[in-house]
Amino acid sequence: MREAGPMGLALLLKKASLAGAFFMGAIWQLPALAFCAAPVDAQVVSVRQVVDGDTLRLNDGRSVRLIGINAPEIGRKGRTSEAFAEAARQRLQALVKASGGEVSLVPGVEPRDKYGRTLAHVYGRSGDNFEAQLLSEGLGYRVAVAPNVALTVCQEQAERAARQAGKGLWRQSPLTPASELRQSGFALISGKVMDIERNRGGIWIEIDDALVLQVPARLQRNFPSSFFAELKGRSIEARGWVLDRSRKGGLKPGQQRWLLPLTDPSMLERVER
């Protein structure tokens, strides 16, 4: 084999560098493409606007809320945007653009939310699932709200990839200790289970004498009995929308101020401390 001269060596190194960059780029994208495989049949629609990191507005006038992801809030009416809110919107805009402005929708079992928005999983023309893509890049938090939980497992995998790599929202821990809760809204909470009670309203899991997790009676069938076994005394992470029961006189004597309804078993995880 002929030895390469200085110019030839430089050219070889440049080609190797480009090939390596391409290879690493391909490897970087593989995990996201592997999550949440595309369905055989889906409704193709045209997108008019990307509202934020988890909401689209279609040419037919409908608003679509992506199932399984809660992206950071865009600041409105003078409020400051949450961290990575604009990055999430821009990334979703890029995904829509790469799909030629058309996407495929797979509506949820529950097709609309209380605001009248269409609830759906969204796919690009290449079959990539937009929720999984955003989750794998740390541009939103995974959520599971029954009955729209068909892709929970693959969405968990996508988010785990971002968390392990410290991407986006996972560059710093987003967990708030239950004892440090100061406001309502979406949150990821850490704490220890102090007690578990059952009554007609559901199952109530007390966390650090500061927060109570509620499994509403209508959703108990989604939680296997083994889910609560040996839960007392364990450290957990929970996620969802925290409610302030002190507002409008809703807090009764002996109740914790903060309430977080659990909408799916995957919204609570045992952790080792």
Quote the DSSP letter at residue 79: P
Better pLDDT: 254 or 15:
254
- The beta-strand segments (E) located in 59-173 are 63-66, 69-70, 102-112, 118-123, 141-142
Domain boundaries, the chain: 43-170, 175-271
Tokens of 36: 């949440």
Q: What per-residue confidence (pLDDT) applies to 34?
A: 61
Q: What per-residue confidence (pLDDT) applies to 253?
A: 85
Is the CB of residue 103 less than 8 Å from the CB of residue 96?
Answer: yes
Cα separation, 57 vs 59, whole angstroms = 7
Cα separation, 242 vs 67, whole angstroms = 19
Tokens of 198: 């059952």
**Whether the domain at 43-170 and the domain at 175-271 fall into the same CATH topology:** yes
Cα separation, 120 vs 106, whole angstroms = 5
Q: What per-residue confidence (pLDDT) applies to 117?
A: 97
Q: What is the pTM of this model?
A: 0.85
3-state class (DSSP) for residue 267: helix
Q: Is the model's pLDDT at 39 over the cut of 90?
A: no
Is the CB of residue 256 less than 8 Å from the CB of residue 211?
Answer: yes
Q: For the segment 67-110, what is each residue's pLDDT rounded down to a tens digit?
A: 999 999 998 888 899 999 999 999 999 999 999 999 999 999 99
Cα separation, 151 vs 134, whole angstroms = 14
Fold of 43-170: OB fold (Dihydrolipoamide Acetyltransferase, E2P) (2.40.50)
Q: What per-residue confidence (pLDDT) applies to 225?
A: 85
- 167 to 74, 160, 170: CA distances (angstroms): 19, 10, 5
- 79 to 17, 19, 75, 196, 224: CA distances (angstroms): 44, 45, 5, 38, 41
Cα separation, 73 vs 80, whole angstroms = 9
Q: For the segment 106-134, what is each residue's pLDDT rounded down to a tens digit?
A: 999 999 999 999 999 999 999 999 999 99
Looking at domain 175-271, its CATH architecture is Beta Barrel (2.40)
Q: Give residue 195's region: left, alpha or beta (phi > 0; psi -120 to 50).
A: beta
Can you say how many angstroms the Cα of residue 135 is from the centroid of all Cα atoms in its chain? 6
Return the number of other C-beta atoms located less than 10 Å from residue 191's C-beta: 24
Is the CB of residue 102 less than 8 Å from the CB of residue 125?
Answer: yes
Cα separation, 215 vs 203, whole angstroms = 5
Nearest to 69 by CA among 55, 49, 50, 87: 55
Q: Which residues pair with 254 in a beta bridge?
A: none
Whats the size of the chain, residue-wise? 273
Mean pLDDT of 244-273: 90
